[in-house]
């Protein structure tokens, strides 16, 4: 049993590039929060004590939660939030998965500062399917605002203007020194390495809204896992990582001794308007990789910088994502070869006169809302969806009519004609689920509409991994990718797929865990305006496959 106490409270931290401090919400007085380390098969017990002034929940991103749906964490989906002054204990097993996952707040924008790593090692020390690394290093990528992110979100809801871009990107909570801002130069993460040793980098994109390119000058990587699923080793000098995704990569310290920059740069600004200004909140952040056991041949004061791809380098992103395949090894899960539930789901943004997460549609000027199959998702506010399912009180909380198809066939070629596509105008937000029978094999085509805003949507599924059997560009109206083009042999297994800009991805999964499982864009500014839906997975026929009762300390609304 791995046990931790998470004290959630207000913390004062220095602003970046501005004088003074700002108040954020943090776990145990630090950002990022504590790293949870377990072995496959362990039980994890986390006591969350909320001493902050906000409602909070914690989600264990990528954990299957088999038989523990009440511990998943998304606010109003599987639980009411933990109110200020209250507590809740999350108890779950980490089984059938190894690698790097993470945890984060799942209420409002609070995960900007409430997040940390969750590392699941093999049962047997060093039991990796690759040579045991000399050391492991966690690399948490984030975003930082000089204001309170929770306040920024409510402000954006009331004005209809998207929350501003982050003031900086961070690596392990620090902005690095990528822009001319003298007071931040000592706030840079440092990774010490020894020459000729190999390191396992556990890279997590915890940013709210930004997908990153990741590089280390003078070094290359071998990717060995993504989203805590082993991959066929893949050699690359650039890693692409969308919000919610993780990548485990081996890095050999085989360069000439010295100092090298690790850098992240944005892969498509999540909010294309207004354009991200260069300069202060520029497009890269850095850390330092320093050789400690040899005389440096480069000056520690001026580390070598990697050359980063351009923000719109879709080619590099596509190359990375389509090169990953699952590692074939005994006991691995395999892709379902037959499908009994088929869905074609558009994901994207549209214009609306409605308020996010509410049924009112009284804005005078249309604002941007997000949708899946033209349904903008609203969280319920009186009871969580899982409780409504358990107590048979779904009426008035959610409806079971999430559509299997978009209302009109999506056509990428007419995407310029905004006014002509019903997919570009989103109606009143609602709470719709797709009901799946226990053990259903599901195939979903996710089509990125890119009608408003050109960006890749990192679609995350709670409670399950899925197989990414195909992805591509243009229209996929169900016929475009025949089964012949699917990888049904060794497709990568993930919990978050970056649906390409102007393209699509096809995923498959088996609904073998009863409960309420959210699927949503892991760009928080999209999730908050409705880019979400929920799967209601029915109970199975045998004991152990039914919905368990809620724990006695489940928070009440
Ligand atoms: Cu990592 Cu629903 O989130």
**Structural domain boundaries of the chain?**
1-127, 130-325, 341-537
Q: Closest Cα to atom 1, ligand 1: which residue? A: 61
CATH fold for the domain made of 341-537: Immunoglobulin-like (2.60.40)
Query: What is the distance in A from the centroid of ligand 1 to the CA of 480?
Result: 30
Cα within 13 Å of Cα(119), Cβ side? 16
| Strands, E assignment, 358-502 | 367-372, 433-436, 440-448, 457-461, 466-473, 493-494, 496-499
For 182, residues 6+ apart whose C-beta sits below 8 A from its C-beta are none
Torsion of CA 291, 293, 295, 298, to 10 degrees: 0
Torsion of CA 460, 200, 314, 442, to 10 degrees: -30
Confidence at residue 423, expressed as pLDDT on a 0 to 100 scale: 67
Confidence at residue 329, expressed as pLDDT on a 0 to 100 scale: 93
For ligand 1, is residue 244 a contact (CB within 6 Å)?
yes
Confidence at residue 19, expressed as pLDDT on a 0 to 100 scale: 83
Query: What is the distance in A from the centroid of ligand 1 to the CA of 124?
Result: 29
Query: What is the distance in A from the centroid of ligand 1 to the CA of 244?
Result: 7
pLDDT tens for the chain, 557 residues long, are 999 999 999 999 988 877 889 999 999 999 999 999 999 999 999 999 999 999 999 999 999 999 999 999 999 999 999 999 999 999 999 999 999 999 999 998 899 999 999 999 999 988 999 999 999 999 999 999 888 888 888 887 777 777 778 888 899 998 876 544 545 456 889 999 999 999 999 999 999 999 999 999 999 999 999 999 999 999 999 999 999 999 999 999 999 988 898 999 888 754 443 444 433 345 688 899 999 976 655 555 567 788 888 888 888 999 999 999 999 999 899 999 999 999 999 998 888 888 777 777 887 777 888 899 999 999 999 999 999 999 999 999 999 999 999 988 877 666 544 445 666 677 789 999 999 999 999 999 999 887 666 788 999 999 999 999 999 888 886 655 555 589 999 999 999 999 988 789 999 999 999 999 999 999 998 998 899 999 999 999 998 899 999 999 999 99
Under DSSP, the state recorded for 397 is: T
* Strands 115-121, 36-39: pairing kind: parallel
Tokens of residue 530, six digits:
């409705």
Confidence at residue 159, expressed as pLDDT on a 0 to 100 scale: 76
Return the ligand 1 atom nearest residue 102 CA: 1
Query: What is the distance in A from the centroid of ligand 1 to the CA of 396?
Result: 25
Q: How far apart are CA 557 and CA 549, in angstroms?
A: 17
CA-based max dimension of the chain: 70
For ligand 1, is residue 460 a contact (CB within 6 Å)?
yes
For ligand 1, is residue 520 a contact (CB within 6 Å)?
yes
Residue whose token pair is 């498509």: 268
Confidence at residue 272, expressed as pLDDT on a 0 to 100 scale: 42
- Taking CA 298 as the corner, what is the angle to CA 296 and CA 302, rounded to the nearest 5 degrees? 125
Query: What is the distance in A from the centroid of ligand 1 to the CA of 106?
Result: 7
Return the ligand 1 atom nearest residue 61 CA: 1
Confidence at residue 419, expressed as pLDDT on a 0 to 100 scale: 46
> Helix H segments across 329-405?
385-390
For ligand 1, is residue 462 a contact (CB within 6 Å)?
yes
Q: How far apart are CA 206 and CA 188, in angstroms?
A: 17
Confidence at residue 473, expressed as pLDDT on a 0 to 100 scale: 84
CATH fold for the domain made of 1-127: Immunoglobulin-like (2.60.40)
Question: With contact defined as beta carbons under 8 Å apart, do 376 and 410 qualify?
Answer: no
Tokens of residue 160, six digits:
């209809």
The correct answer on CATH 2.60.40.420 for the domain covering 130-325 is yes
Tell me how long the chain is. 557
3-state secondary structure 146-214: CCCHHHHHHHHHHHCCCCCCCCEEEECCECCCCCCCHHHCCCCCEEEECCCCEEEEEEEECCCCCEEEE
Q: Which strands form 58-61's sheet, in the order they lie side by side?
A: 36-39, 115-121, 99-105, 58-61
For ligand 1, is residue 61 a contact (CB within 6 Å)?
yes
Question: With contact defined as beta carbons under 8 Å apart, do 462 and 526 qualify?
Answer: no
For 251, residues 6+ apart whose C-beta sits below 8 A from its C-beta are 198, 199, 201, 216, 219, 220, 221, 222
**Rounded to two decimals, what is the model's pTM?**
0.94
Confidence at residue 99, expressed as pLDDT on a 0 to 100 scale: 98
Question: With contact defined as beta carbons under 8 Å apart, do 508 and 470 qualify?
Answer: no
Question: With contact defined as beta carbons under 8 Å apart, do 211 and 425 qualify?
Answer: no
For ligand 1, is residue 457 a contact (CB within 6 Å)?
no
Return the ligand 1 atom nearest residue 462 CA: 2
For 339, residues 6+ apart whose C-beta sits below 8 A from its C-beta are 441, 442, 443, 508
Query: What is the distance in A from the centroid of ligand 1 to the CA of 109?
Result: 12
- CA-based end-to-end distance of the chain: 30
CATH topology agreement for domains 130-325 and 341-537: yes
- ipTM of the complex as predicted: 0.99
Q: How far apart are CA 374 and CA 467, in angstroms?
A: 25
Query: What is the distance in A from the centroid of ligand 1 to the CA of 126?
Result: 29
């Amino acid at each position: 049993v791995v046990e931790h106490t998470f004290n959630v409270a207000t913390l004062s931290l220095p602003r970046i590039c501005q004088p003074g401090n700002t108040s954020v919400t943090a776990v145990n007085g630090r950002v990022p929060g504590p790293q949870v380390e377990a072995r496959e098969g362990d039980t994890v017990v986390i006591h969350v004590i909320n001493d902050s002034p906000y409602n909070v929940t914690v989600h264990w991103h990528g954990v299957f939660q088999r038989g523990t749906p009440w511990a998943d964490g998304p606010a109003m989906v599987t639980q009411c939030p933990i109110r200020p002054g209250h507590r809740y204990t999350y108890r779950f097993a980490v089984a059938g998965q190894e690698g790097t996952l993470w945890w984060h707040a799942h209420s409002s924008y609070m995960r900007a500062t409430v997040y940390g790593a969750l590392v699941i090692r093999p049962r047997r020390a060093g039991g990796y399917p690759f040579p045991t690394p000399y050391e492991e290093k966690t690399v948490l990528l984030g975003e930082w605002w000089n204001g309170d992110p929770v306040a920024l979100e409510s402000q954006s809801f009331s004005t209809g203007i998207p929350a501003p871009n982050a003031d900086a990107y961070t690596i392990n909570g620090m902005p690095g020194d990528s822009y001319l801002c003298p007071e931040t130069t000592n706030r840079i993460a440092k990774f010490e390495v020894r020459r000729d040793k190999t390191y396992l980098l556990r890279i997590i994109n915890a940013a709210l809204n930004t997908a990153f390119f990741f590089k280390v000058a003078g070094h290359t990587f071998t990717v060995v896992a993504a989203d805590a699923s082993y991959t066929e080793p893949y050699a690359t000098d650039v890693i692409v990582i969308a919000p919610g995704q993780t990548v485990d990569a081996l890095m050999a310290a085989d360069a000439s001794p010295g100092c090298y920059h690790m850098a992240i740069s944005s892969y498509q600004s999540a909010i294309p308007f207004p354009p991200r200004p260069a300069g202060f909140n520029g497009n890269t952040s850095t850390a330092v990789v320093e050789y400690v056991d040899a005389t440096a041949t480069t000056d520690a004061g001026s580390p070598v910088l990697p050359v980063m791809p351009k923000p719109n380098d879709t080619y590099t992103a596509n190359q990375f994502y389509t090169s990953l395949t699952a590692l074939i090894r005994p006991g691995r899960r395999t892709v379902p070869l037959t499908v009994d539930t088929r869905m074609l789901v558009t994901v994207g943004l549209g214009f609306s006169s409605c308020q996010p997460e509410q049924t009112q549609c009284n804005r005078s000027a249309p604002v941007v809302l997000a949708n899946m199959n033209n349904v903008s998702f609203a969280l319920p506010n009186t009871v969580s969806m899982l409780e409504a399912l358990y107590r048979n009180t779904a009426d008035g909380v959610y409806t079971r009519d999430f559509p299997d198809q978009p209302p009109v066939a999506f056509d990428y070629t007419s995407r310029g004609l905004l006014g002509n596509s019903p997919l570009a105008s989103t109606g009143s937000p609602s709470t719709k689920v797709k009901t799946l029978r226990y053990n259903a094999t599901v195939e979903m085509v996710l089509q990125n509409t890119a009608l408003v805003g050109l960006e890749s949507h990192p679609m995350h599924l709670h409670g399950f991994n899925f197989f990414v059997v195909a992805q591509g560009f243009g229209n996929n109206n169900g016929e475009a990718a025949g089964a012949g083009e699917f990888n049904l042999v060794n497709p990568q297994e993930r919990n978050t797929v970056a649906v390409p800009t102007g393209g699509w991805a096809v995923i498959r999964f088996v609904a073998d865990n009863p409960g309420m499982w959210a699927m949503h864009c892991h760009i928080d500014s999209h999730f908050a305006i409705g880019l979400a839906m929920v799967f209601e997975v029915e109970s199975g026929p045998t004991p152990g496959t039914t919905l368990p009762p809620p724990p006695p300390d489940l928070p009440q609304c």
